[in-house]
A and B are shown apart, each in its own frame.
Chain A
């Protein structure tokens, strides 16, 4: 499918995607988790990846994170063809991943978690520099964290999510990938995280959001990519697509009759789109 310029404020129609996947395939033994998946991510754009359980979303993330290698396909980053052999390589490229299970160390404080694995140090740790930078970063994200010297375990779910997202920003990534960032959060904390995602977009980053929650997707995403049984099954611009169309792409009811029926059904009931 052809892409139009994803954002209205973008002056030119032709833009290079910052991250571009072509023909990505991955199998685990007998399970073909991903088959020929294509995807483009542009700077300043939020792309949602949706799909049923087992559709291959997390597998795609793990390939980008350098956890798994793809069996086939190419990854282009910033116009260059790249391979991502390790999590460190993904970070070095400018790809930051916020995993579904957060990956924070509960026994360490906020600053230590933010800078974990990339501490500012000249033989001894430069705690002052790191703490200062932490405050600047958290403020830029309008994060509500009372102290950066308390253990991460004592933060609320939304605050922990904020720390995880803030951590991905250290080292100035170009693309941030969030795997179900709102799955375990309450209403207010979900809103906080959605605000953060918009904040990332305003900073000009490419954002990939994986979510099962269509309300979240429709609230913040510019574009939604549907995976079904490990294959591409639709790529829609959010303002132009209805809830029913996304759902039918996810469940596989994409042939014309069903789509038309779903759309008709939707308009008949005067639903949300």
Chain B
């Protein structure tokens, strides 16, 4: 030990930032460095959202070749509106998968929310906001119950939520009553939200600019804090390019969608939920704990993380997002029926999260997987219906894509293992 107890380590940043002192560290500077670092990560099995983005581009290209209407503004607006409901449910799925659990009852819960909303609005004469709140509270209570059952009795969530699937479905049918179908008044804002509420172009452009500025300043402030802490900052050019690309992408998208109906408020809400959850996952202690619980529960527990609380909070968020998605779907379909949240809702939401790059093994993934994954699935389903192919083919193709996503997940896991990043 040459320099134990000395404080020499604190004095070095004057010459070189603390994080680049080790000569073995491969340094990536500037734009070229960033590109190289990216390829190195990909080769190491850290694929991130790359496979989905490539897949999405391929799918869009194929459908556009098969049907000229696929990339039309009108169809893309449809695509965004179709994605919002199940995509919101998928946000909850991402959270639950991150702690290496699963919720199989999300479909039933979205159906229950639909039933509560419809009955509350039409038969009980509640104002919409009250019906919405009751529906959301019911969902949160179910999530809490799951959490308590899991943490108290240690029954796998797979089984708890399978029981929940049936029980909640029963509750949904009971609430809907003998008719089995309740139409919502068309003028109500929840239906408007689902069908015809769009941002005026100026507002959509403003949101796009705010998003890009937000990203730039968040990067910039972080870089400044790093420099102040004696670490390397990021290149301002790179930050400009990143924010500029995002801005260009958003502006083009808004402009193109605005040539017909524009950006749906419901879709914007979905994207906002994704961004908010991403913030909580990456920037707060709670988010860090979620990843830790998914990565190694025992380590998390020994580190003093209150694992039970994290699990319960995540299961509650899972059912909450399922209910919000259910309300979106009800608004879009203008009715709550026996089959609300039934059929393939469950599996599509779970598939979206997995296709979007959230690992089934826990601890890996991001809120953005819900957005990307639901785009992939909805693009396939939308494209196939443009081609007048029925749902039999749609199911088979979606199944194949899901299988592909799971294989990519397993392969990248193996690749991480061989590159020593298991």
Residues of A bordering B, CB below 8 Å: 65, 87-88, 91, 97, 99, 101-108, 112, 116-119, 121, 123-125, 127-129, 131-132, 135-136, 139-140, 142, 144-151, 153-155, 195, 198-199, 202-203
Contacts and interface: CB of A to CB of B under 8 A. Distances in A.
A103 B18 contact: no
Interface string B14-49: 000011011011000000000000000000100000
Contact of A125 (B283, B292, B422): B283
25 contacts: A65-B302, A87-B303, A87-B304, A97-B302, A103-B299, A105-B300, A107-B291, A108-B288, A108-B291, A116-B303, A117-B304, A117-B305, A121-B284, A124-B284, A125-B283, A128-B231, A135-B9, A135-B18, A135-B231, A140-B9, A150-B421, A153-B421, A154-B44, A154-B420, A202-B4
Interface string B281-318: 00111001101101110111111110000000000000
B242 interface: no
Contacts of A144: 22
B1 A142 contact: yes
A117 B300 contact: yes
A203 B4 contact: yes
A203 B5 contact: yes
A74 to B, nearest CB: 24
B229 A128 contact: yes
B19 A135 contact: yes
B332 interface: no
A128 B302 contact: no
Most buried by A among B9, B24, B222: B9
Given A105-B292, A106-B296, A132 B284 contact: no
Contacts of B302: 65, 87, 97, 99, 103
B288 A119 contact: yes
Contact of B304 (A91, A124, A127, A153): A91
Contacts of A104: 296, 299
Q: Which 7 A-B pairs have the closest CB atoms?
A: A117-B303, A139-B9, A107-B295, A105-B295, A103-B299, A117-B304, A128-B229
Contacts of B305: 116-117
B363 A105 contact: yes
A101 B420 CA distance: 18
Given A116-B305, A142-B2, A154-B420, 12 more contacts: A105-B299, A105-B300, A116-B303, A123-B284, A125-B284, A125-B288, A128-B225, A139-B9, A146-B22, A146-B25, A149-B19, A151-B421
B22 A147 contact: yes
Most buried by A among B222, B231, B298, B363: B231
Contacts of A118: 303-304
A148 B4 CA distance: 21
Contacts of B294: 107
Nearest to B364: A107
Given A105-B296, A132-B229, A146-B25, A140 B421 contact: no
Contacts of B9: 135-136, 139-140
Contacts of B414: none
B230 A132 contact: yes
Contacts of A142: 1-4
Given A104-B299, A136-B9, A116 B288 contact: yes
A121 to B, nearest CB: 5
Interface string B220-242: 00100110111100000000000
B149 to A, nearest CB: 23
A199 to B, nearest CB: 6
Nearest to B363: A107
A147 to B, nearest CB: 5
A140 B4 contact: yes
Given A105-B292, A105-B300, A121 B285 contact: yes
B1 A199 contact: yes
Given A107-B295, A135-B19, A146-B24, A153 B288 contact: no
Most buried by B among A104, A121, A146, A155: A146
A170 to B, nearest CB: 10
A88 B25 contact: no
A65 B302 CA distance: 9
